[in-house]
Structures are given as C-alpha cells and as structure tokens.
Amino acid sequence: MGLRHTLDFLLYDWLRAGELTSRSRFADHSRETFDAVFDTCERIAREKYAPFNRTLDIEEPRFDGEKVILPKASKEAYDAFAASGMLSAAQDYEIGGMQLPYTVESAAHTFFAMASVSMGSGMLTVGNANLLMVHGTELQKSVFALNEFSGRWSGTMCLSEPQAGSSLSDIVTRAVPDGGDFASDPLGARYRLKGNKMWISAGEHELTENIIHLVLAKIPGPDGKLIPGTRGISLFIVPKQLVDTQGQLTGVRNDVALAGLNHKLGWRGTTNTLLNFGEGKFPVQGQAGAIGYLVGRPHEGLSCMFHMMNEARIGVGMAATMLGMAGYHASLDYAKNRPQGRLVGPSGKDASQPQVRIIEHADIKRMLLTQKSYCEGALALELYCARLVDEQHTGEPGAANEARMLLEVLTPIAKSWPSEWCLEANSLAIQIHGGYGYTRDFPVEQYWRDQRLNMIHEGTHGIQAADLLGRKVVMAGGEGLRMLALRINGTIERAIQRPEFAEYANALGGALQQVGAATKAAWATGDAREALANAVPYMQAFGHMVIAWMWLDVALSIPAGAAQPPAHVGRLAATRFFYRYELPKIGAWLNVVSSRDATCADMPEEAF
C-alpha cells in the first residue's frame, strides 16, 4: 500500500484524528484541511526532495574556507518547505501559524522523511523556536522564534562538545557577563561564550540569512571555576549574525566559526559541524568571545532543553520509521519486477517450472513482511505518541496528565525501536536486491547508511535504555508503567471479544506479565548497578511488547469479516507475523534482566 493510504487508515480509522477538530484549538480544521496539508507536503516531497536524495549523498557538504557549499537542490527544497508554512504548522494563528494538531504535523513530515531524510524538514529549527516560545522573553520570541518559524532564519541545538557527548555534565564552554551593562540588554542578559561544540547539525550553511544557535554553556562561579555536574549549565541564544531588537541584521558577524565539517557514513544532506565559539576569528567590538543572550534563568539550561526532548525523540523515531518505509517500498517494487528462479515444488526445486518474479518466493515474502511489520508497526507507534502529545497539550487535565505519563514511558521506545528495527528492515531491503542492493545504482544502501545514525543521535540506545529502566518505569512509584499496562489491557479486553484475535490477546497478556515481572526482578535488590546492567535487552523486550500491542490495536480497527480488502489482509498478516515471529523473542531478552545477569558487568577489562 502507498504511504498515503497507510497514513489515512492509521490517522482516521485507527486514531480517529478527525475527532480532534471538536477541540476549540482545532475547531477551524476538518479532515479536508488536514488532507490539503498532506497534499501539499506530498507534492513538495515528490518534486523537491525525492529526486535529489542521491545528489545529497554524492555531493557531500564542503567548506571552501569561507562558506559551506551544498547542492543547489538543498536551497530549493528548503525554500519550498519554508514557503509551505510547515515550520509554524503547530503555532497559533496570531503569529502566523496553522494551529494544526501535532498528530497531523507529524504525519505530514513523513513525506519529507521518506523522500529524503537528510534534506530535513526543519525539525531543529522548529524545536529551537518552540523552546524559545516556552522559555524565552517576549522580545526573544518575536526577534528569534518568529523569524525561525517564517523560515527567514534557521536554528540549531548546541549541546555536545568533543569531550562531552552522552555526558553533558562535562561540558566546558564558558559564558561570562559581557560588560557592566550585561544584564540590561533587551535581547536578554548578554554573555561572552568560549568553547567548542561538536555534532552540530546545520551549524553552518547559506540556506538562510542567519543561524540561531541555542547553546549550553556554564557560567563560572565566583571563584572563576565551572560548577561540576549539570547544575552549572545555562542556555544561550547565540546568533551567527548579530541582530537588533527589530530582528534586523546589524552587519556584525558574531564570533562563531566553523572549525570543521564531520564526514559521515550517511545523512549527508544535513551539514554536521564542529563550531568554535569565541575563539576570536570574528571579534565583536575588537574582543574575542561569542555574544550570547541568556534564556530562562542561569543554571537551568538543561531543563529548558529537555523540555523539548520528547518531541525531538519522537521526531528521530519517525525519521527512522520513514527510512525503513522507504526501503520497504523500494524492495517491494524491486521484488515485483525482478525475475529470478523458480517456485519450490512439493519435492523441492523444480527446473521445469517457468521463471517467476522474486516476490513469489517464500523467503522474499518473509523479508517483505518483516519490513512491513516493523515499519508500519513503528509508524503506528510514532503516530500514537504524536496523538498523546496533542492530548497532553489540549486534553482535559486528567487525560492530559495520563498522556504526559504515557509519553514519558513510551518516548524511549518511540526513539529506540525504529532506530534498531528499521535498520534491520533496511538491511533486508538490501538483501532482497541481491548484488544490486550492494551498489549505489539502487537507493537501498543509502537508506541503510542514513539509518545507522538513529541509534546514536538524540541520546544513544544505551542512554534510552537507562532512561527507560532507570527512570521511566519506576517514576512516581511505577505510575507510568501502570497506566501503560491499563491501556494494553484495554486492547487485550477488546481483542478477546474477537475469536480471530484470541491468540494475540493471550500472547500480549503474557508479554505484559513477563515485562512487569522482569521490571520487578531487575529492581529486586534496589541496586541500580544490578538493575541497569541489562537495560538494553530490557528495552528491546519492552519495545517488542509495545509494537505487538500497536499491531493488535490497529487490527482491532479492522471490521470483522471473512472477506477483507487487500490492505486489511496485509495488516492482519503483519499482525500475525509480529506475534508469531517477533514477540516470542522477548523471552531471551528478559531472562538476563530477571536474573540480573552480571556476566557483562563483571567482565574484567584485561580479559577482553
């Protein structure tokens, strides 16, 4: 089925996104306005993104000493995207937004991610501006956020440093007050920043007239020393070009310089940079140090940043999902057209049979159905999470709180599961292409390379797992996990009503019980070292349980009946596949969690 068909079903038939229009914020909307957004995004993705995905891979960003050079297609895609208004799709009408539900915005982004994930669709710019809308002053909003939503400027998130990636508490970028009047700058308390920021996506380019960096840095204490740990971290707006209170460029370049481009395995359409802040390459008023305006209060930078984390992580999960989907569709197309081999007969190979297309071979079908169950299952989860974001923002207080708690538990899965399993899907897409899949004449090898980033950025797999087992399932006395179990049990109860789903309902109930028991067993001694030693296998099992739940819940929105249209036959087969081939894997993962197996943790370094 095409992506649009799948989205329509998941959004309208399953998630009942149409009902969101009964809420006051979305009252002007209707399925028609949602569909018009999808039409526009689908068209831009088809015309401006898809044809250039390989171009981005081949014409990697390069620095000529003065500026970063990107393929022409990047600028054209960026302009078309910005012109569509999607950068402010979720914002209020009064600042030029569309007041679209996040669910619809997320679904609209799938077209871009599938067409060319590294061309990007402004996720960082939107995240940057959203953060300012929550934590910025009125002037910071109007000067910075609004110019980002309009597409005039773009934004970055500058967290990592060469020596501090997963461990942000070790950042050493310093911010010191800039002059005696530093506190009275209308754009925010003014500091001078010095330090290096690593892995900064879109950190330097010519797509927009300005780049607004949001930078984590430490304000030294009275003794001049940096405060250890994350408490010392504050957040600053550091524009590449300095601007006035009207949002006009002053013509003064800020002291932010490109130190180097990272040459990546994939995802090459997005420039990734090492930036030097305040090294003196572009001194401001004769002085080294990048000008930065404090956002929020000092020492609360990390919590400002983490405010946006759930949506950023759902965004990564959605990108991973759509890369998987791109490979699935490419390999499905190939399998339908490539003649090779003959069908196995009852007695084995049968050379007298006519040649067939490879989609007729059972093992090719297995690889396609695996991809379908992974990618469409992941898409269901991402949309489900997006719907929870809407509930959190526009639901009744009780429902909003439940949605918030569910999101806390589900976000590590929404981020990690597609990153891991849609990578496997991309590998299967290569496999279906045989030798051709290993060449650059087909797109699947690029999807696989692009995909490999997703287990690394926005919190590695290990970080997600520690977050899930170390915080999310135990927070508030396990309330988040309990709420999730209630929802899963709700699905099970509805499924038990339908005999054809009884097998799945039982299996899902068993899985939920196993995961619950493993959670308790992991924490039985109360020692985090024992509990977390196998956090990744725990997350793998948890994720498989969640996707199994998604599939059963999706299947329940298919009306009962013996004769189903092909799309429903496919969904029911993907559900069956997931329950028969995938869900049983959780036993092996949970074994080591439940026994708090210390084989890995106890391994002495010299024995490797």
Contact between 1 and a second copy by CB under 8 A: the answer reads yes
CB of 69 to a second copy, least distance (A): 18
Q: Which of residues 121-160 bind a second copy (CB under 8 A)?
A: 160
- How many chain residues bind a second copy (CB under 8 A)? 108
Task: Please identify, using beta-carbon distances, which residue of 193 and 592 lies nearer to a second copy.
Answer: 592
In angstroms, the CA 340 to CA 361 distance is 9
Contact between 567 and a second copy by CB under 8 A: the answer reads yes
CB of 244 to a second copy, least distance (A): 36
From 210, 140, 175, select the one nearest 289 (Cα to Cα): 175
Q: Which two tokens stand for residue 72?
A: 């022409």
- Asked if 247 and 142 count as a contact pair (C-beta separation under 8 A), the reply is yes
Residue type, 286: G
Q: Which two tokens stand for residue 346?
A: 């009852």
Task: Please identify, using beta-carbon distances, which residue of 390 and 450 lies nearer to a second copy.
Answer: 450
Q: Give the x-and-dash track for 267-306 against a second copy (CB under 8 A).
A: ----------------------------------------
Element (H, E) at 385: helix 362-394
CB of 435 to a second copy, least distance (A): 5
CB of 14 to a second copy, least distance (A): 18
In angstroms, the CA 302 to CA 295 distance is 11
From 344, 315, 260, 202, select the one nearest 62 (Cα to Cα): 260
In angstroms, the CA 40 to CA 83 distance is 11
Task: Please identify, using beta-carbon distances, which residue of 36 and 588 lies nearer to a second copy.
Answer: 588
CB of 38 to a second copy, least distance (A): 22
- Window contacting a second copy (CB under 8 A); options: 77-85, 149-157, 236-244, 260-268: 260-268
Torsion of CA 422, 424, 426, 432, to 10 degrees: -140
Task: Please identify, using beta-carbon distances, which residue of 150 and 169 lies nearer to a second copy.
Answer: 169
- Window contacting a second copy (CB under 8 A); options: 19-27, 297-305, 379-387, 462-470: 462-470
- Asked if 333 and 364 count as a contact pair (C-beta separation under 8 A), the reply is no
- Asked if 574 and 332 count as a contact pair (C-beta separation under 8 A), the reply is no
Q: Which of 75, 264, 281, 307 binds a second copy (CB under 8 A)?
A: 264
Angle, alpha carbons 216-218-222 (nearest 5°): 160
* Residue partners of 85: CB distance under 8 A and separation at least 6: 96, 98
Task: Please identify, using beta-carbon distances, which residue of 454 and 491 lies nearer to a second copy.
Answer: 454
Task: Please identify, using beta-carbon distances, which residue of 148 and 458 lies nearer to a second copy.
Answer: 458
Q: Which of 53, 116, 534, 540 binds a second copy (CB under 8 A)?
A: 534
Task: Please identify, using beta-carbon distances, which residue of 107 and 531 lies nearer to a second copy.
Answer: 531
CB of 178 to a second copy, least distance (A): 29
279, 311, 445, 458: the active-site residue: 458
Task: Please identify, using beta-carbon distances, which residue of 244 and 363 lies nearer to a second copy.
Answer: 363
* Residue partners of 283: CB distance under 8 A and separation at least 6: 255
Q: Which of 92, 206, 244, 527 binds a second copy (CB under 8 A)?
A: 527
DSSP-assigned letters across all residues of 115-157: H-TTT--SHHHHHHHHHHHHHS-HHHIIIIIHHHHTTSEEEEE
Q: Which of residues 464-493 bind a second copy (CB under 8 A)?
A: 465-466, 470
The gap between the terminal CA atoms of the chain, to the nearest Å, is: 48
Q: Which of residues 324-363 bind a second copy (CB under 8 A)?
A: 332, 336, 339-349, 351, 355, 359-363
Contact between 79 and a second copy by CB under 8 A: the answer reads no
Q: Which of 222, 286, 559, 604 binds a second copy (CB under 8 A)?
A: 604
In angstroms, the CA 331 to CA 135 distance is 45
Structural Rg of the chain based on CA atoms: 25
CB of 499 to a second copy, least distance (A): 18
- Window contacting a second copy (CB under 8 A); options: 127-135, 184-192, 278-286, 445-453: 445-453
CB of 422 to a second copy, least distance (A): 13
Query: Residue holding tokens 């773009």?
Result: 154
In angstroms, the CA 383 to CA 375 distance is 12
Contact between 240 and a second copy by CB under 8 A: the answer reads no
Residue type, 20: L
* Residue partners of 236: CB distance under 8 A and separation at least 6: 175, 191, 193, 214, 215, 216, 217, 292, 293, 294, 295, 301
If one counts every other C-beta atom within 10 angstroms of the C-beta of residue 222, the result is 5
Contact between 97 and a second copy by CB under 8 A: the answer reads no
Q: Which of residues 193-222 bind a second copy (CB under 8 A)?
A: 198-199
CB of 93 to a second copy, least distance (A): 39
- Asked if 235 and 214 count as a contact pair (C-beta separation under 8 A), the reply is yes
Is 206 catalytic? The answer is: no
Task: Please identify, using beta-carbon distances, which residue of 277 and 448 lies nearer to a second copy.
Answer: 448
Catalytic center residues:
458
